[in-house]
Structure 1
Amino acid sequence: MKHTLNFLRKLASAFATVLVLGLPCGAVNAGNADAPTRIIIGFAPGGALDALTRLLAERLRTSLGEIILVENKPGASGRMALEAVKRAPPDGKTILITASSPIVMYPLTYKRLPYDPDKDLAPVANLADVPMVVSTSPDQPYKTMPEYVAWVKRHPESPGVGLVALGGGTHFGTLSLAKSINVPLTPAAYRGGAPMLSDVMGGMLPIGIDAVATQFGLYKAGKLRYLGVLGSKRTALLPDIPTLKEAGVPGFDAVTNWYAAFVPAGTPSATVGRLEKAMIEAVMEPGFRAKLAELGMESSGRPASEVRKLIQAERAQWKPIVEASGFTADE
């Protein structure tokens, strides 16, 4: 009997060892320093944010000497990804890379949010500026933004303006433009840039507004015409394309878009500093900057302290505009 019990104990021990060895690396190492680092983004593979994140992950694997995994968690306009990072342990092993709207605009436009970006997340670094542009089909009769404004005044039955989401700066810019030209422009929200641009190129949508990065290839192939850049200054990516303000079109001066990295609140400052240094060095490296430019993005490399100031400044700028519009999101 004693020999049988000893044999069973040894067999159980060996079986447990086999199970552990067969587990994925992340399951074995969860909760310790050797666990993979996950970078979570709130959109599907193939977009500008995904391209930036995968380029960055490749650099961080070398500079940090760690396993870096990219996890796409699309849904709820990026909010699902923020929730996942909010719930993660504050150990630097879970990183969020997000566009600015879920951080700056959603606290102003959504009645209920399952997160507080100021309390639940800690900024690490601002990685890239993502210029926004108004585009149209080359077959449309207008070649400039003033020509479009004149055209839509003559054709108020065609008021659609393509957007990839409601409640952001492009939405409020459209409402402001509609008021200034006295035409009831209709923001048409799409699930992504691809279907929206398909309707723009097909002539079913007079104009669309999205990131340069989403449509750069189509523009260079001659399938889209750019009418104007959003924001207060031209982008070095498109030096010959005027801002909408230069074109005499109001409402879009304050519209910006950027990608930044965050970790769960409570992550040790030394850990945040280590990630900040590695990320800024990566995005400011000349080869990295050149790759981003090819994709329609501009490396920024701003530290966490500047990210905090940027968020507060942009939110303060948009708050009275949002409140005056009366718009709220319920989804």
Structure 2
Amino acid sequence: MPPAFQIRRHFFLILACCIVSMPVHAKSNAALPDPMTIVVGYAPGGAADTTARVFAEQLRKAGAGTVIVENRPGASGRIGMKHVLTAKPDGATVYLTPSPLLTIFPLTYKDPGYDLEKDVRPVATLVNIPTAIVTGASQPYDDMKGFVEWSHKHSTQGTSLGVATLGSSGHLGILALNDNQHTKIEPVAYRGASPMLVDVASGVVPIGWDAVASMMPLYDAGKIKFLGVSGTEKLEALPKVETLAAQGFPEFKAATSFYAIVAPARTPDETVKNLEAAFIAASGATDLKEQLATRGLLVAPATAEETSKRIHEELETWRPVVKRTGIRME
């Protein structure tokens, strides 16, 4: 066989392989709606907004086309949830939701504005969200134990806790702490973590609760300090901060939340599978993990089925707490 013929044959074999692979790649890119909107129910700058934007960028890098992040703050995230659940069920509009809207609100709100079983379809879990209680950098207490002691001595009429979400695990934790420690800490709701933390830093409210990720920018700037984190283990990003449980406040052991993607209940199975696969694939990107880790968020991908199971398990965890505290939201 002449050398020139061999070269041409080799070239056309390579070209054929490329052509054969092109439809597969195109199909992969076309699996998601284009454009697709990830709705966030909180103001820009918080942990939910950060997570949505990091995932949107990774999806775009993977060839998903146009991925938009849209902020619809208000009603502790329920405005954004309602907007998504009433959207066309084609996968083009999904909601990045903190877990309390799935695991606590159905227990605490008389009418949260949606039926968890009838209206919501889990798509995937994205990250675990360690939470924490913080205070302004100039406040006279350096941990939660110190704050409780201070509040007993100096705030006999009561004090307050800033939260971005009423009915959240932080809200329930504080109510339980009030019962157990004889404190009078009243949760105050904000439209998002960012405005709440500004008030914490300036001393308008003495303490605030939210995701660690929401707090890192002001912490790094020296404006706030951590009094304690949720769960039972210290965070790699905050090695000197003790857990609230280790300080004698077990009310916050289960306060580590998570972010999940949900869609309208009537979204077709194939569309949900495509969304699930895309978000879980994005979770594997090293730079995405690093970006979120520096903000105190732990990438923890889980399928739609696994997410649904976790939701129902956590509902049963919080059910007796809600019953004991008697919390009821309107």
TM-score (normalizing by structure 2): 0.84
2: CA distance, partners of 1:69 / 1:138: 35
Task: For 1:96-175, list aligned pairs within 5 A.
Answer: 96-155=95-154, 156-175=156-175
Does the CA contact (< 8 Å) of 2:174 and 2:185 recur in 1?
Answer: yes
2: CA distance, partners of 1:225 / 1:274: 41
Shift of 1:35: 5.0
Shift of 1:260: 0.7
Task: For 1:30-109, list aligned pairs within 5 A.
Answer: 35-109=34-108
Shift of 1:158: 4.8
Partner amino acid, structure 1, of 2:133: V
Superposed CA deviations along residues 100-125 of structure 1, whole A, max 9, x for unmatched, are 12111111111113311222121111
Partner amino acid, structure 2, of 1:50: D
2: CA distance, partners of 1:288 / 1:311: 25
Larger displacement relative to structure 2 (252-261 or 180-189): 180-189
Partner amino acid, structure 1, of 2:165: A
User: Residue in 1 aligned with 2:261?
Assistant: 261
Superposed CA deviations along residues 48-90 of structure 1, whole A, max 9, x for unmatched, are 2222212212222343543322222223222122222222233
2: CA distance, partners of 1:188 / 1:35: 39
Does the CA contact (< 8 Å) of 1:127 and 1:258 recur in 2?
Answer: yes
1: CA distance, partners of 2:207 / 2:164: 12
2: CA distance, partners of 1:208 / 1:113: 24
Does the CA contact (< 8 Å) of 1:284 and 1:300 recur in 2?
Answer: no
Larger displacement relative to structure 2 (261-270 or 174-183): 261-270
1: CA distance, partners of 2:195 / 2:86: 33
Shift of 1:259: 1.0
Partner amino acid, structure 1, of 2:190: Y
2: CA distance, partners of 1:129 / 1:34: 26
Q: 1:204 to 1:45 in 2, by over 3 A?
A: closer
Secondary structure at the residue paired with 1:324? helix
Does the CA contact (< 8 Å) of 1:228 and 1:242 recur in 2?
Answer: yes
Does the CA contact (< 8 Å) of 2:98 and 2:260 recur in 1?
Answer: yes
Superposed CA deviations along residues 210-233 of structure 1, whole A, max 9, x for unmatched, are 211111011122221111001233
Task: For 1:271-310, list aligned pairs within 5 A.
Answer: 271-310=271-310
Partner amino acid, structure 2, of 1:220: D
2: CA distance, partners of 1:163 / 1:65: 34
Shift of 1:34: 6.7
1: CA distance, partners of 2:102 / 2:188: 22
Residues 1:206 and 2:238 are matched in the alignment? no
Does the CA contact (< 8 Å) of 1:130 and 1:297 recur in 2?
Answer: yes
Shift of 1:246: 0.5
Secondary structure at the residue paired with 1:122? strand
Does the CA contact (< 8 Å) of 2:45 and 2:194 recur in 1?
Answer: no
Which stretches of structure 1, 4 residues or longer, exceed 3 Å deviation after superposition?
A: none
2: CA distance, partners of 1:46 / 1:138: 20
Identical positions, percent: 41
Does the CA contact (< 8 Å) of 1:138 and 1:223 recur in 2?
Answer: yes
2: CA distance, partners of 1:34 / 1:186: 43
Shift of 1:172: 1.3
Alignment length (residue pairs) = 299
Task: For 1:234-253, list aligned pairs within 5 A.
Answer: 234-253=234-253
Partner amino acid, structure 2, of 1:317: T
Uncovered stretches (5+) of structure 2, i.e. residues with no partner: 1-31
1: CA distance, partners of 2:289 / 2:139: 34
Partner amino acid, structure 2, of 1:149: V
Q: 1:140 to 1:312 in 2, by over 3 A?
A: same
Q: 1:290 to 1:214 in 2, by over 3 A?
A: same
Q: Cα RMSD (Å) of the superposition?
A: 2.1
Q: 1:303 to 1:227 in 2, by over 3 A?
A: same
Q: 1:231 to 1:67 in 2, by over 3 A?
A: same
User: Residue in 2 aligned with 1:329?
Assistant: 329
2: CA distance, partners of 1:38 / 1:186: 36
